[in-house]
Amino acid sequence: MPITNANSEVEESASAANEVPPSIPVSDWLVRRRVTISLVGFGILAAINLGLLKTKPLDPWNWTNLPTVAACLLILGGLGIRSWAAGTLHKSASVTQDGPYALVRNPLYVGSFLMMFGFCGLLRDIPSALFVAGPMVAIYWVTTLREEKNLAHWFADDWPSYQRQVPRFIPKL
């Protein structure tokens, strides 16, 4: 009969409590590579539009053109939201519930999408933006579900009420 140490059992159970719940391998692959997939996808779109289709992008300094202003505001707004969220995030310490996290559970992703649509607007490529939106939404949806599953596991006391009170992507009016 093996001899066990009470402290080692406590350490093992504490270690098990911090483990990430299992997930589907495809979702793991998408989650780990979402930034690369986003950058490569947008880079390919930019290359197609600028190189093959010879699309002339909007001049980001022409603030008299309404589409330019709208695209730049999306980019700056997305960057601002991402910066605010990154500066507020209490990663691994607790469920962040202040700043932009009081409005939506995923402000970093909201900011990323605003920036993506802003850059597509500057490239005058709304059809491609809509085409890319499908796969991007799918990737970030899987990522969000995975992250929320982990947060529910790690912060079992705080997560359920936060999840009930704060919408995932679109703030309550």
Report residue 149 as tokens: 């599953």
Residue 143 contacts by C-beta under 8 Å, 6 or more apart in sequence? 27, 30, 31, 34, 109
Report residue 150 as tokens: 């982990």
Say if residues 85 and 99 touch (Cβ distance below 8 Å). yes
Structural domain spans, the chain: 27-165
| Grouped pLDDT means (10 residues each) for the chain, 173 residues | 43 47 66 81 81 88 95 97 96 93 97 90 79 81 91 95 97 91
Rounded CA-CA distance 48/52 in Å is: 5
Question: pTM of the entire structure?
Answer: 0.75
Question: What pLDDT score was predicted for residue 25?
Answer: 73
